[in-house]
Structure 1
Amino acid sequence: MGLALVAGLALVTGCTTQPAPVPPPDRGLPAGGFRLVAFDSCPEALRQLKAAAKAYVGPWGFGPNGDIRTFDRAEQAGAPAAAGRADAAPKGYSGTNTHEAGADEPDLVKTDGKRIVTVSHGKLYVVDPATRRLTGELELPGADSFGGAEDSLLLDGDRALVLRRDGWAGMARPTVRGGGARAVPAEAPTPDGIVGPRLIMVDLSAEPKIIGEYRIDGNLVDARQAGTTVRVVVRSAPRLNFPHREGATDEQRTAANREIIDNATADDWLPRYEVTSGGRTSTGRVGCERVSRPAAYSGTSLMTVLSFDLGAAALGAGDPVTVIADGDTVYSNGPRLYVANDQRWRVLPMLTARNIAPDPKDETTEIYQFDISGAGAPRYVADASVPGWLINQYAMSEWDGHLRVATTSGRTWGDKPNSTSSVYVLRADGTALTQVGKVTGLGKGERIYAVRFVGGTGHVVTFRQTDPLYTVDLRDPRAPKVSGELKINGYSAYLHPAGDGRLLGVGQEASDQGRVQGTQLSLFDVSDPAKPTRIAQYHVKQGHSEAEFDPHAFLYWPAERLVVVPLIVYGRGLPSNVALALRAGDGGFTEVGTVDHTLGTGRPEDLTPIRRSLVVDGVLWTVSDAGLKATSLSTMTTLGWLRTA
């Protein structure tokens, strides 16, 4: 259900003892009508949670197949990712690629120009870019607890916060079990009983050392950093299992699952956390007084937002606030945080299998706006719902007090797609984000592949067989309009502003029938919004780039007009793995060179894909799971190689 954050009881509007309103099991929420309210007491919270969950549970548990969401949207292809403004970085180093300059995002490598810090294979490494030496190495706790996760980090001064996706929090799915109905943990817990992300505070002032840890039940959604304050969003669910009963009817199974819910306690719902600092460990649980709910919810999902100060001596308890809600996409411009949620995870598998169009009620995205300008817990401001689904965080952007949102509605698959895309303009009015303008009818039969808002202009790419690039004039929020359209083969999956009316795109070239043919980079002239044109294209046959689905992998260094993307190129024999560097000049693309991290053994496992690129003082640093390489920007010769594998 929709995600919301709240800074405690003082920030919600009223209390209620009414029965908890719930959506029907196979329908999404209608648009509008969301309001956060607090519970009168812990027993009342538990009663309403049970009522909501019992209305949603079926013969196989929560959801159509007895398995409510157990994955992060960020780990799907086309994941919400981060990418940056062309002018966001201070002179001298590129920083990391983020959507907005005022809101840093976790990634596998960070730099402040003085040091480069990266995490790989359960270790943290510190590099001095001036001497090109590895100056620190730290084994991270819990490195072997969950092999499929990828660590990320945030950096501020002498502090790094490592975010580990340790464990995999169960999401109330059925297991084969006999006997009576009772609540049991959804996964085998770690020794401390908590299954979920681990946050690790590291002191980098000398040899790196751990100065604090924090663990909480759930799955890591995302995080944002403004100044020294970090907001971490975690999604969790009641720790319940529903046993499979051989020979029982669906009615009998549903009744037994409701009995499990009846026997559950608040401890089965509320997230637990553990804090370690100074050699001491303390435990806690999110209190009922910190839990709120929107007007409609299922009781099957909870979202907790934690706030940490990287300048503090220890992590602390995170000042947790929890909402009985779900959430997928996080966007922040620094002073404000937006969290959006849709029901795609529940709806699409059924609809695709049946080749039917979604019901409009299922195609609703809820958006919550919060003030995070202070160091304390987020303050809820307003909320809204819009038709359709978001592709990622770039489908949202705040400008001049207005939130612009791009969505796709309808069926995008099958022989007769009926999809269409829209851009909505919202403005906070009291506790509601009110729609003040919209543009509809973009890319009929297609879906959005990329969105980028730059000032008062929106750039929207839709695709099925060709790639319309729409420019949307948003300067008058009450009367937005499509000002131009460019149709070319293929598509851009990520768009990046390059200044002076230029826009960079990275995606796939495609045939007239829409068959992809390898990575393409495009340089667009959008200085005249009525006549967008593509002035250059660079095509790599059978190529694929991580930047196509995770823009953290994209680098644009405006001082040199340098574009760097990682590439895997398939062909005869083993695939090649390189970082491709291009210069985007007025006359088009010029190839600067390539960098590889091949270890020279000829073995497939030693053809290490490059993941990220950074610029520090005229040196291009490329990062892979094997190590870091320093390359001269002026000559493209290797200056140093630091192996970490």
Structure 2
Amino acid sequence: MKRWGRVCGAVVVAGVCAASAVPSGPEVEEPVVPTGDPALVAYDSCDTAATALRRAILPHVTEYGLGGPYLTMERTVGDAAPPTARTPEHSTTNRHEAAADEPDLVKTDGRRVVSVVDGRLRVLDVASGTVAGLSDLPGPATGVLLHGDRALVFGVATGDPVDRRIMVDATTVTLVDLSGPPRVLGTLDVDARFVDARQVGDVVRVVVHSAPNLPFGYPDGTVTPRESLRRNQEIAASAPVDAWLPRYRLAESGARSEGALVACDRISHPDVPSATSLLTVLTFDFPGGLGTGDAVTVLADGDTVYGTGTGLYVADARGAGFAPATVTAVHRFDVSRPGPPVYAASGEVPGVVLNQYSLSEHDGLLRVATTLEPDATRTRSSSTVTVLRQEGDKLVKVGAVDGLGHGERVYSVRFAGPVGYVVTFRQTDPLYTLDLSDPAKPRVTGELKITGYSAYLHPAGDGRLLGIGQEADERGRVRGTQVSLFDVTDPEAPTRLAAYHLPGTHSEAEFDPHAFLYRAPVLAVPVGQGVLVLDVADRAITARGTVSHPIPGGSLRSMVIGDELWTVSHAGVRVNALDGLAERAWIPFS
């Protein structure tokens, strides 16, 4: 029985994965073709690329192909107008860096609200409180970005399963004109997994990851594990280079085209290639057409994206073979100029990052917070913050502070200039304050131990820090959503000033910071069948009220537009007065 497989998290530009020895044929000298990127070269021909890629993949082939028996496969099935006058003041998507916007399910420019909930693009007119436009999308959407009268929508198209255990995923990018009724200008399908995207000005960079698609078999009762392994090794050893190349399908301006997203002789790789998958950054210019994204492709993996106004970082946690990840590789792309990014440098740090908030750039340095799990060298987990500096084509270690939260792991991180905050948790919640002003000697300055934990931290003005997570008892059993207000004025003695606890609940904001709205003094987060609205004072948190929605657990996002609070769920949009929360409108989605 055959199936299509995907690559394990093997990797990357920096470092070589350890794996079992598998014959890979004669060594082939790889001619060097400059790519314009430091430390990266391109294969001089497709034959050379195929030989190198086969050699890289063979050590990771198992009787199940590339990974265990349960896998997800990666493959597919005009100028901005200026805003009108008197656009009301409004909140924006909660994002890590102000200079780099992030895609989300709902966006507003103050004049309209654009939603891509449940696979439909809806444009709501703020002034009239009505749905001004509606358009079906090619499939489920993961987010949207706006610029003027244009929207760029990202989706994940799911096809039929290849067999009962494997689903087929793809990335769809759709450019939509919003100057009148929504009108699709172009759609690009890519045989790759959507990782994330960042927007700087009118330029969007989209990161996708693609693994080779090969017809691997697996033990199914008619084939033994040994025989399946032998056959899979033969398949990998003779795989064509096309198996690695993600394909695209573009529909734009009444024309259709398709082909390889990147030519095999334009795949960049390090002098000693070790990755088995491709990491591609696509670039789209809002005022222009959609196109195919002018791909920049590197032999690497990646699952976490962090962006600033000048840099795009992609991090990948990896281990030896199929063992748990032990290090995180980080790749930096320069996005300081218009057009495609330029690969700049790579490095690695011990441990595994939690999410994009584990990374932060400040004064040309990158700080990375990671958790180190128990292994042969340590009996308990702990966490560390490593400071990296770019030197040539490498991100090199400048300093580190180790030993945070022995026996615990990182639950949230926030960096603010030369200061860092790290929450670890197992039974109690140590909030660590870090002094990073001397990058060669970062240090812990303070620690606050309380029950529960914060899953997301948010700066709330001078000396104040907000956290949302779970309250817990002394044994670490969670007891419901909790919002905390911390005083971090004295980094040596952080304190908790106030907490608001809702027993037996969880909030989407604990897992997705885009669901967290803070526009002082108002804090709004989805909880249960609605949105909890709080007032955050200098030393207190009080409830303003709750905005209910018809569908339990369906509340998604909140935004402030003028003097109103707009909350969005799967069922529709509810508009309430910000002062007092009196209902002003209900806009159903059906």
Under a length normalisation based on structure 1, what TM-score does the superposition of the two structures give?
A: 0.81
User: Is 1:212 aligned to residue 186 of structure 2?
Assistant: yes
User: Is 1:596 aligned to residue 541 of structure 2?
Assistant: no
- Residues 486-535 of structure 1: per-residue CA shift (max 9 Å, x gap): 00000000000001110000000000000000000000000111110000
Instruction: Tell me, in whole angstroms, the C-alpha distance in 2 between the residues paired with 1:2 and 1:169.
Output: 29
Shift of 1:241: 2.1
Shift of 1:55: 2.2
The 3-state SS of whatever aligns with 2:357 is helix
User: Is 1:24 aligned to residue 42 of structure 2?
Assistant: no
Aligned to 2:525: 565
Aligned to 1:49: 53
Structure 1 pair 527–70 and aligned structure 2 pair: CA distance change class (3 A): farther
User: Is 1:383 aligned to residue 346 of structure 2?
Assistant: yes
The question of whether the paired residues in 2 share the 8 Å contact of 1:175 and 1:243 is answered with no
Instruction: Tell me, in whole angstroms, the C-alpha distance in 2 between the residues paired with 1:380 and 1:218.
Output: 20
Aligned to 1:463: 425
Shift of 1:324: 2.1
Instruction: Tell me, in whole angstroms, the C-alpha distance in 1 between the residues paired with 2:284 and 2:565.
Output: 32
- Trace 1:398-413 onto structure 2 (pairs within 5 A): 398-411=361-374
Aligned to 1:307: 283
- Residues 374-411 of structure 1: per-residue CA shift (max 9 Å, x gap): 22111111111100000000000001111000001023
Between structures 1 and 2, the one with greater strand share: 2
Instruction: Tell me, in whole angstroms, the C-alpha distance in 1 between the residues paired with 2:201 and 2:501.
Output: 39
Aligned to 2:297: 322
Aligned residue identity for 2:101: D
- Residues 442-495 of structure 1: per-residue CA shift (max 9 Å, x gap): 000000000000111000000000000000000111111101100000000000
Q: Which has the higher contact order (CA 8 A, sep 6+)?
A: 1
Aligned to 1:259: 234
Shift of 1:68: 6.1
Match of 1:331 among 306, 311, 315: 306
Structure 1 pair 540–297 and aligned structure 2 pair: CA distance change class (3 A): farther
The question of whether the paired residues in 2 share the 8 Å contact of 1:553 and 1:566 is answered with yes
Shift of 1:345: 11
Aligned residue identity for 1:410: E
The question of whether the paired residues in 1 share the 8 Å contact of 2:133 and 2:182 is answered with yes
Structure 1 pair 174–202 and aligned structure 2 pair: CA distance change class (3 A): closer
Match of 1:454 among 393, 416, 425: 416
Q: Aligned residue pairs: how many?
A: 551
With 298-307 and 438-447 compared, the bigger mean Cα shift is at 298-307
The 3-state SS of whatever aligns with 2:157 is coil
Shift of 1:91: 8.4
Shift of 1:25: 4.5
Instruction: Tell me, in whole angstroms, the C-alpha distance in 2 between the residues paired with 1:129 and 1:175.
Output: 45
The question of whether the paired residues in 2 share the 8 Å contact of 1:60 and 1:174 is answered with no
Shift of 1:295: 5.2
User: Is 1:221 aligned to residue 183 of structure 2?
Assistant: no
The 3-state SS of whatever aligns with 1:342 is strand
Structure 1 pair 208–588 and aligned structure 2 pair: CA distance change class (3 A): same
Aligned to 2:44: 40
Aligned to 1:292: 268
Match of 1:637 among 582, 585, 589: 582
What is the RMSD of the two structures over their aligned residues, measured on CA atoms? 2.7
Aligned to 1:351: none
Instruction: Tell me, in whole angstroms, the C-alpha distance in 2 between the residues paired with 1:53 and 1:345.
Output: 14
Aligned to 2:147: 156
With 286-295 and 454-463 compared, the bigger mean Cα shift is at 286-295
User: Is 1:578 aligned to residue 573 of structure 2?
Assistant: no
Structure 1 pair 107–468 and aligned structure 2 pair: CA distance change class (3 A): same
Structure 1 pair 37–333 and aligned structure 2 pair: CA distance change class (3 A): same
Shift of 1:299: 5.2
Match of 1:440 among 395, 399, 402: 402
Instruction: Tell me, in whole angstroms, the C-alpha distance in 2 between the residues paired with 1:474 and 1:578.
Output: 39
Q: Which runs of 5+ in 1 are unaligned?
A: 6-19, 27-33, 73-89, 144-148, 177-185, 189-194, 349-357, 569-576, 599-605
Match of 2:465 among 490, 497, 503: 503
The 3-state SS of whatever aligns with 2:56 is helix
User: Is 1:618 aligned to residue 563 of structure 2?
Assistant: yes
